[in-house]
Structure 1
Amino acid sequence: MKRWYKRSLAAVLTVAMLIPAAAVSAAESKAELSYSVTKQAAEAKAALLTSSYGVSSVQYALFDQGRIVVSGQAGINDEQGQLPLTNETVYGIGSVSKVYTAAAVMTLVDEGKLELDKPLVNYLPEFTMKDSRYKQITPRMLLNHSSGLNGSSLTNAFLFEDNDSYPHDQLLDSLAQQELKADPGAYSVYSNDSFTLAELLVEEVSGMSFTDYIHQYITKPLGLSHTQTSGDGLDNDKMAALYSPLKKGQMPSEVVNVIGTGGIYSTAEELAIFGGVFAGYEGTVLSKKSVSLMGEEEYKRGLWPEEGSDMFAYGLGWDSVSLFPFGDYDMKALSKGGDTLFYHAQLIVLPEQGMAAAVLSSGGASTYNGVFAADLLLQALKERGKIDELPAPKSFGEPKAAQLPQEQLKYGGLYAGTSQVYKIDLDSEGKLLLSSASQPAAGSVEYIYTENGDYISADGMMKARFVEEKNGNVYLWTSDYLQLPGIGQTKLSHYAMEKLGPNAITDATAKAWEKRDGKLYYVVSEKFSSVLYLQNTGMAIHLLDEAPGYVMDQKITGPNSSRSDISIPAMSGRDHSPLQFYSENGIEYGKSQGSVMISEDGVSAIYAGKKSRVTIADNGFARWFKIPEAAAGKMLTVSRPAQSSFAVYDAAGTCVYFSQVEDNREVELPVNGKIVFAGDPGSVFQISLR
């Protein structure tokens, strides 16, 4: 295994040598500032995250005027205390990797090897799709999320201690079978596949592997000796430990095998130093022009709601180029968050202030890290005298009810976001009731109509309005102040959902889907090391009486197919996953974005006798079994090949044992549970029950 671990001081000194002399002088002039108040605030918030927000460990760093001025960590790294948590502990940064990918593309732009607005096929001729509009996609559209790609082809992307390049290697084949969900450039909506495609673009143009390119053009020039990719082969002893409520003790390392999308690993200090590239120190790896281009308001090129600084306002690679609350201080702020299944990350850069903050964690959420990182910056700005006061918590105020205009009633009905259907009821008293159409027992959120045409929640923290867009669609726009007690506040404003129209289908098509209603389909295409086996891997088919012709947000397009056509920018319209069904040997399977699932009708009962065996077929599909009453309560022992695994689930679908993360042991079979066996074709599992 390669080891990239050197002292972080060397990384800081490398940056110091590369930044302009004037900036170094500025850093030296600030040497007398101790940042003591910022350090105390950071320590308190880190302790709160690990005690009250489900965070196992957190690591943070603040880069200011050319150097790391604050850094620290809190929580546990391993329960035995053998791997201490330090500033050199490495975390997965998830989708913050996209900023590295965008930077890699921009280095090629700087070298004149590609142009942002030329067709992608000019540089990646093997790229093709069923939809001819793919020829209009440009590198810029990949980086600003406006390519029109469906979203995420992530089969075997998240594995335990396994850096299989399958999702990278098969992407072009997968895209060749897909159509676009929107005209390229029509609007920006979060797209993982766009950045895996950008990874392939870098490789094709440079003639290098993406991992080698990142090291040669980004990590080595910046002295980032701890920053690596899943392609390097990760050293588990250097990684932040992972924990799950589904398993006692430490988990194996999680490996994300779509590097350009989310497969880079780093420390908070090195991530903050990388952020310094965009904080006034452009000469290190990118030209000043490219740094500026990455921070432009790309989201405004297509459909987008009108609103100020927020969590989502896409640049090139950035989630936001106008982050709350920095706009209230007339400061530009760039941000990018990242979430894998276990790691969470946030990078915020204040380009005009020469500052960057990074927060990484095992457990929690990138939203928590983002609020923490923003507070780090705000505390330091106040300590430097750049702002007078820290921001006070905001709200929209107590709503004053107004008479609901009659024309507002037309906006009631069913709305959808990705994989979600909502019901909106409006009454003459001016109340808007928002509920889940598929889970009505979950209750509803109530808004009150006010005289300026907005609906506001009783606590004043949420605001909504209906918008009829130029594309003819009706959206519910919402704006929420998200308050994290003891940590801070952030803001999310977006088109949360789109009004559904009618979708007429034939009787034959309706009957075909009615047979699937309420059934579960289990993933069979994931590798034995897949992290997903620790989750509930069943997909439920739900038809709603209120939405004939739909399966959740997707329009039913035939007896064996469905497809979503919601057009929502930002996040609520991400990851379209068209469904296709087919039968093989009398068993129905479903396909979606490269994943294959088997109907529960094709899942037989495990043999309840003392001895049996299970063999993986030539197609390599995982094999699922029901636990019959005769086997429930018995103790299961499995002898299996090295490259294989099995998992046991209870009646609710919760994983109670997964051999990839636990030592071999007897497992009590739960009533009405399931078992899955996964491995290479021909793998044989010897099963004993007692």
Structure 2
Amino acid sequence: MPTETKIESAPQAGELSAGAVDDHLRDYVERTRLPDALVAVTKGDQVVHVAGYGRTAGDEVITKTTPMPLASLSKSFTALAVLRLADQHKIDLDAPVRSYLPGFTMADPRAAKITVRQVLQQTSGMSDLSFPELTLPAPGTLREAVAMLRAAPLATEPGTRMAYHNPNYAVAARLVEVVAGVPFADYLNAAVFRPLGMTSSRTVDTSEELPGGGAGYVRAYGRLVARSHPKWFLNGSFGVVSTADDLAKWLIAQSGAGRFPPRRTLETAQTASGVAGSTYGMGWEVGRTAGGAPRLQHTGWLLTHDSAQVLLPASGYGIAVVTNTGMISGDDALLIADGLVDLIEGRPDAGAAPFTMTADPWLAALTVLNLGLGLLGVRRARRWAGRRAGQAAWRPIVRLVPYVLPIGFFLGLIHVLIHVARARRARADETAGLPRELIPAGRGRR
């Protein structure tokens, strides 16, 4: 059941009421068996609806004041922290990062040219292809996260290509620490959260510090399975924890309806870099809705949580959604947000569901195949051993390869999904500016 909401007025054509938001969330939760969600919807400087649905993995009731991890929505907060220092002339966005952060070194001399702007716009030349940080032992602090880059090469010349890479924002957060002279969490609280009245928001270093240790759910075989989260380093890139109440305040500020931040600061963050056609700004992606209206958004994934924030400048709406299903379970948060955008633009609910709900038959088939091959192998083992007595050892090993492949598939599934997630983020730069009907099937908008 949702918690209380704010304003409720008679909706007009093209307007979204609190009741319509609630109906949409209830329908989605029932259709997909989503375990929990936070939602915040604003219009201009007004709160349309804030609510919590379901229960956490720790069996706590979700309310509008329940803290949940925002995953990569955190990048827009980090970008604003840097831009506040730029507004105070303490940082020049076009100066090299190293001029403020001497400890930022890489195994590539071109890293000396990387600017603050390039880090925020993800055009630094760093990439998952050259430095897959999630496959490495997680650091514990921003200082350690930046130090790890000493062994990392660049994938491209700085400023020539956009590549979505989380360490860019770890560098940005560490830069804030050094220039401001205080821990990043303290600066974010003083310079961003407190001025916006976001009294229940904070940022953390690792997933171990998330509420409930970041535990959430995955979908498999038509069921939801609770699972913990491995240790990841989060701060700067995806470490912010917030509530529906606080997210409403954030959306109002980011839509320009509040007194802070200044309009010029918002424009800097929300303008695409244009580098090699990139639609990424600074923690925001620039595109259009299916109806052709301007749309700003960012999405986020942990293994156990999913998030999305959307701004519609033409109508003044802001939408934020957080769910406790993650990258293995599909795009619940973005699907909910997209459905709300459809309602705002007068389109019927498409009844969208995460891809994992249709993938279950494939998982079941692979499981049956694996079990069948195993049983067949047991049944034929004695006869097989007799026929191959005296043969070279390499022959039976080669013949066993097809039987091992399904097992390898399941063991490597999580890594495959992580790489799929990264690829979908990269493809988003191609598709974020296109109406939905022009995006080829299977192309994500992350």
Shorter-chain TM-score above 0.5:
yes
User: Are the counterparts in 2 of residues 117 and 138 from structure 1 also a CA contact under 8 Å?
Assistant: yes
| Structural mapping, 1:352-501, within 5 Å | 352-363=314-325, 367-379=331-343, 381=344, 390-391=346-347, 485=352
- TM superposition shift of 1:540: 9.6
- TM superposition shift of 1:186: 0.9
| Structural mapping, 1:516-555, within 5 Å | 536=411
Q: Which one-letter code corresponds to 2:121 in the other structure?
A: N
Q: CA–CA distance in 1 between the matches of 2:56 and 2:149?
A: 39
2:119 maps to which residue?
142
- More off after superposition, 129-138 vs 226-235: 226-235
1:224 maps to which residue?
198
1:170 counterpart (126, 134, 144):
144
2:296 maps to which residue?
334
1:118 counterpart (95, 98, 106):
95
Deviations 1:322-346 (A, max 9, x none): 23225x1xx3221010110101111
1:196 maps to which residue?
170
User: Are the counterparts in 1 of residues 229 and 303 from structure 2 also a CA contact under 8 Å?
Assistant: no
- TM superposition shift of 1:303: 4.9
Matched, 1:265 2:241: yes
Q: CA–CA distance in 2 between the matches of 1:538 and 1:362?
A: 20
Matched, 1:187 2:143: no
- TM superposition shift of 1:375: 3.4
User: Are the counterparts in 1 of residues 160 and 276 from structure 2 also a CA contact under 8 Å?
Assistant: yes
Q: Secondary structure at the match of 1:70?
A: strand
Matched, 1:571 2:426: yes
Q: CA–CA distance in 1 between the matches of 2:54 and 2:425?
A: 33
> Identity across aligned pairs (percent)?
23
Q: CA–CA distance in 2 between the matches of 1:540 and 1:243?
A: 17
User: Are the counterparts in 1 of residues 204 and 235 from structure 2 also a CA contact under 8 Å?
Assistant: yes
Matched, 1:288 2:270: no
Matched, 1:316 2:278: no
- TM superposition shift of 1:234: 5.0
- TM superposition shift of 1:131: 1.0
1:183–1:569 distance in 2 versus 1, CA, 3 Å: farther
1:249–1:133 distance in 2 versus 1, CA, 3 Å: closer
Deviations 1:180-216 (A, max 9, x none): 0001111112111101111111111111111101100
1:245–1:125 distance in 2 versus 1, CA, 3 Å: same
Deviations 1:614-642 (A, max 9, x none): xxxxxxxxxxxxxxxxxxxxxxxxxxxxx
Deviations 1:59-79 (A, max 9, x none): 211111213221223333358
1:485–1:332 distance in 2 versus 1, CA, 3 Å: closer
Q: Which one-letter code corresponds to 2:280 in the other structure?
A: Y
Q: CA–CA distance in 2 between the matches of 1:79 and 1:281?
A: 36
2:62 maps to which residue?
85
Q: Secondary structure at the match of 1:346?
A: strand
- TM superposition shift of 1:280: 1.8
User: Are the counterparts in 1 of residues 41 and 248 from structure 2 also a CA contact under 8 Å?
Assistant: yes
Number of matched pairs: 360
User: Are the counterparts in 2 of residues 323 and 335 from structure 1 also a CA contact under 8 Å?
Assistant: no
2:306 maps to which residue?
344
User: Are the counterparts in 2 of residues 133 and 183 from structure 1 also a CA contact under 8 Å?
Assistant: yes
* Superposition RMSD in Å: 3.9
Q: Which one-letter code corresponds to 1:43 in the other structure?
A: D
Q: CA–CA distance in 2 between the matches of 1:38 and 1:32?
A: 7
Q: CA–CA distance in 1 between the matches of 2:424 and 2:157?
A: 13
Q: CA–CA distance in 1 between the matches of 2:348 and 2:62?
A: 33
1:156–1:48 distance in 2 versus 1, CA, 3 Å: farther
Q: Which one-letter code corresponds to 1:77 in the other structure?
A: T
1:122–1:140 distance in 2 versus 1, CA, 3 Å: same
1:281–1:573 distance in 2 versus 1, CA, 3 Å: closer
1:54–1:132 distance in 2 versus 1, CA, 3 Å: farther
User: Are the counterparts in 1 of residues 287 and 294 from structure 2 also a CA contact under 8 Å?
Assistant: yes
1:53 maps to which residue?
32
User: Are the counterparts in 1 of residues 75 and 283 from structure 2 also a CA contact under 8 Å?
Assistant: yes
Structure 2 unmatched runs, 5+:
355-400, 402-409, 430-446
Q: Secondary structure at the match of 2:174?
A: helix
1:59–1:123 distance in 2 versus 1, CA, 3 Å: same
Deviations 1:219-267 (A, max 9, x none): 1111112211225995847x99623469998555777532111111112
Deviations 1:299-334 (A, max 9, x none): x22255xxxxxxxx211111x2123225x1xx3221
Q: Secondary structure at the match of 2:152?
A: coil
Q: Secondary structure at the match of 2:85?
A: helix
1:62–1:200 distance in 2 versus 1, CA, 3 Å: same
Q: Which one-letter code corresponds to 1:172 in the other structure?
A: V
Q: CA–CA distance in 2 between the matches of 1:194 and 1:39?
A: 38
Q: Which one-letter code corresponds to 1:314 in the other structure?
A: Y
Q: CA–CA distance in 1 between the matches of 2:336 and 2:67?
A: 19
Q: CA–CA distance in 2 between the matches of 1:196 and 1:294?
A: 17
User: Are the counterparts in 1 of residues 123 and 160 from structure 2 also a CA contact under 8 Å?
Assistant: yes
User: TM-score, with normalisation over the residues of structure 1?
Assistant: 0.46
For the pair shown, the structure with the greater C-alpha radius of gyration is 1
User: Are the counterparts in 2 of residues 60 and 269 from structure 1 also a CA contact under 8 Å?
Assistant: no
Q: Which one-letter code corresponds to 1:338 in the other structure?
A: G
User: Are the counterparts in 2 of residues 222 and 274 from structure 1 also a CA contact under 8 Å?
Assistant: yes
- TM superposition shift of 1:290: 1.1
Matched, 1:75 2:54: yes
User: Are the counterparts in 2 of residues 156 and 166 from structure 1 also a CA contact under 8 Å?
Assistant: no
Q: CA–CA distance in 2 between the matches of 1:74 and 1:119?
A: 45
- TM superposition shift of 1:288: 1.5
**Which structure has more helix as a fraction of its residues?**
2
Q: CA–CA distance in 2 between the matches of 1:540 and 1:219?
A: 35
1:427 maps to which residue?
none
Deviations 1:536-573 (A, max 9, x none): 479999xxxxxxxxxx9xxxxxxxxxxxxxxx996159
- TM superposition shift of 1:84: 1.9
Q: Which one-letter code corresponds to 2:62 in the other structure?
A: L
Q: CA–CA distance in 2 between the matches of 1:280 and 1:269?
A: 18
- TM superposition shift of 1:46: 2.0
Q: CA–CA distance in 2 between the matches of 1:249 and 1:358?
A: 25
Deviations 1:396-419 (A, max 9, x none): xxxxxxxxxxxxxxxxxxxxxxxx
Q: Secondary structure at the match of 1:186?
A: coil
- TM superposition shift of 1:31: 7.6
1:573–1:149 distance in 2 versus 1, CA, 3 Å: farther
Q: Which one-letter code corresponds to 1:212 in the other structure?
A: D
